[in-house]
Amino acid sequence: MSSSISVPGSALTPFALVKHLENKILIDGKLTAPKSQKTFPVHNPATMDVIGQAVEANHEDVNAAVENAQKAQKEWRHMDASKRGHLVSKCGDLLDEYADELARLMTLETGKALRTESQVEAKIFANTFRFYGGLGLELKGETIPFSDSMLTLTIREPLGVVGAIIAWNVPLLLMSLKVAPALVAGNTIVVKSAEEAPFAVLRAAEIMNTILPPGVLNMISGDGPTTGEALVRHPQISKVTFTGSVETGKTIYKNSSEKLIPVTLELGGKSPMIVCEDVDLKETVKGALASMRFTRQGQSCTAASRIFVHESIFDRFLEKMKEELNNLKIGDPMDLETDVGAIISPAQHGKVLDYIEIGKSAPGATAHECSTLPDDAKLSKGLFVRPVIFTGLPNSHQVCQEEIFGPVTALIPWKDFDDVIAQANDSGYGLAATLWTNNLNRALQGVHQLEAGFVQVNQNVVVQPGLSYGGVKSSGVGKEASLEAMLEHFTHKKTILFNMG
């Protein structure tokens, strides 16, 4: 490590780090024992071994975290915005030094493959802090020509203490999308991690707390109904930001409405990918694998889980896609040769298998199951699933309408462009969409007509700092990842009039 900052527990293996972190929450700048006596086990999804115990924070713990954040807010909000940004950038640089350690820890608790997923995410994670760190001076207001004898202006102020509730699929990325803009804008924050993945984010918070003033960033763990609800309902929480399921998003929206506080919700998706007949087949099939996030076991809210392929290239597309999927190695997530890891939990694993059975039982449907399950004895209890491509399912089928959050996609043939756009839009969700064509007119027509918050032509990049990200319809409320997200969702504008007359 080149950094001169001393991080407790440096250079530990993921297992030793879990020992260092278990039974702890992070309040007032340090890892601390909770008031709650309750804990829950965290598993390695690749083996189903228990790796450690996490805290189920109770009301007292939530209160302590929020009170500390509230106390820290008094100074943090008055620090120069550029200085807050500088500290957040420094966090990004330090987290980058710890990227490999964080990636390994995240792989241990989530079962995501280290090379294809966790290492990539840990880098974007660090970069998100660097990106927002540079935006302190963008917290600008306006002057308004209201009257010659008055100076009339707006200034942006922080909202107060933010409550952030995150999911397990990309825990580090989700943490950064909430913490970085909240802090640069002058808020302090309490994050509740997901039950399945509490350790990598706790470690990241510990690392960041070697730089941030105590109380600015607090991290607790626990379940939704106990810890999550207590955080959302806490009277001192003045903003909630959430990523997870539509159902939980609605509950959080309702609970927040009782306090009339602003809420950002990043929810699910059933994102379409439309492939026209003029594409480069090989590149587009690669794009389909990336868009569907097969290397993340399909556990992505933007997963291209409905792939509409022009009928003239449908058979070739299917064959090529099967060939590419067969080349992916499913195995030990920690092994750098592995492309695809395990599903997060028995509940999610069961849900995915149920959907595969539902699809298989539809008349005329075929499930093309690809690649092979690992035969390593130590992975025999692991939650692995072979990637599946369904053909013969209409867009109206349950498998094409409900979010599966697993490595399951449906290939649907089309021949009329207006009709395929209508099918793509025939969904309760509207998070992301991709369109693959070399025809400029079609591309322009498509990007205007697709009902989604994030639309890409001939590519599919994951969330990137700087690009506003967020859905329409059931996919959510608000934007993340951009300057706009920080200004609109983590500040309010105060209007000020000076009478100089």
Catalytic residues: 266, 301
Q: State which amino acid sits at residue 136.
A: G
Tell me which residue of 471, 44, 480, 418 sits closest to 268, measured CA to CA.
471
Tell me which residue of 426, 446, 429, 430 sits closest to 438, measured CA to CA.
446
Site residues for ligand NAI, 288-307, by CB under 6 A, read: 301
Site for ligand NAI (CB under 6 A): which residue of 228, 298, 331, 359? 228
As a whole number of angstroms, the distance between CA 27 and CA 464 comes to 29
Task: Identify which of residues 82 and 248 has a Cβ nearer to ligand NAI in the complex.
Answer: 248
Pick the piece of the chain touching ligand NAI (CB under 6 A) from 127-135, 197-205, 266-274, 306-314.
266-274
Q: Taking CB under 6 A as the rule, does residue 409 contact ligand NAI?
A: no
CB atoms closer than 10 angstroms to residue 378 = 11
Q: Taking CB under 6 A as the rule, does residue 169 contact ligand NAI?
A: yes
Site for ligand NAI (CB under 6 A): which residue of 195, 206, 339, 480? 195
Q: Taking CB under 6 A as the rule, does residue 229 contact ligand NAI?
A: yes
Q: Taking CB under 6 A as the rule, does residue 266 contact ligand NAI?
A: yes
Give whole-number Cα distances, 28 to 81, 236, 321, 387, in Å: 21, 16, 50, 44
Continuous segment of H or E residues that includes residue 315: helix 314-326
Q: Taking CB under 6 A as the rule, does residue 56 contact ligand NAI?
A: no
Task: Identify which of residues 132 and 242 has a Cβ nearer to ligand NAI in the complex.
Answer: 242
Q: Taking CB under 6 A as the rule, does residue 241 contact ligand NAI?
A: no
Q: Taking CB under 6 A as the rule, does residue 96 contact ligand NAI?
A: no
Site residues for ligand NAI, 304-323, by CB under 6 A, read: none
Site for ligand NAI (CB under 6 A): which residue of 214, 224, 394, 413? 224
Continuous segment of H or E residues that includes residue 399: helix 398-401
Q: Is residue 48 within 8 Å of 192, Cβ to Cβ?
A: no
Task: Identify which of residues 100 and 223 has a Cβ nearer to ligand NAI in the complex.
Answer: 223
Kindly determine how many residues on this chain lie close enough to bind ligand NAI according to the rule CB under 6 A. Answer: 27
Site string for ligand NAI, 334-363 (x = CB under 6 A): --------------x--x------------
Q: Taking CB under 6 A as the rule, does residue 400 contact ligand NAI?
A: no
Task: Identify which of residues 134 and 268 has a Cβ nearer to ligand NAI in the complex.
Answer: 268
Radius of gyration of the chain (CA): 23
Pick the piece of the chain touching ligand NAI (CB under 6 A) from 260-268, 287-295, 333-341, 377-385.
260-268
Burial of 286: CB neighbours in 10 Å, binned 0-12, 13-18, 19+: middle
Q: Is residue 55 within 8 Å of 26, Cβ to Cβ?
A: no
The span from the first CA to the last CA of the chain, in angstroms, equals 60
Site for ligand NAI (CB under 6 A): which residue of 82, 152, 245, 449? 245
Q: Is residue 234 within 8 Å of 163, Cβ to Cβ?
A: yes
The minimum distance between CB 137 and ligand NAI, in angstroms, equals: 32
As a whole number of angstroms, the distance between CA 274 and CA 424 comes to 8
Exposure string for 431-469, b = 16+ CB within 10 A, e = fewer: bbbbbbbeeeebbebbeebbbbbbbbbeebebbebeeeb
Tell me which residue of 323, 393, 402, 333 sits closest to 361, measured CA to CA.
393
Residues in the chain: 501
The minimum distance between CB 121 and ligand NAI, in angstroms, equals: 13
Task: Identify which of residues 126 and 267 has a Cβ nearer to ligand NAI in the complex.
Answer: 267
The minimum distance between CB 420 and ligand NAI, in angstroms, equals: 25
Give whole-number Cα distances, 125 to 120, 142, 200, 218, 281, in Å: 9, 32, 12, 17, 32
Coil, strand, or helix at residue 342?
coil
Q: Taking CB under 6 A as the rule, does residue 200 contact ligand NAI?
A: no
The minimum distance between CB 246 and ligand NAI, in angstroms, equals: 7
The minimum distance between CB 253 and ligand NAI, in angstroms, equals: 10
Task: Identify which of residues 165 and 411 has a Cβ nearer to ligand NAI in the complex.
Answer: 165
Site for ligand NAI (CB under 6 A): which residue of 91, 105, 167, 342? 167
Pick the piece of the chain touching ligand NAI (CB under 6 A) from 63-71, 208-216, 246-254, 285-293.
246-254
Residue numbers at the binding site for ligand NAI (CB under 6 A): 165-167, 169, 192, 194-195, 223-225, 228-229, 232, 243-245, 248, 251-252, 266-268, 301, 348, 351, 403, 405
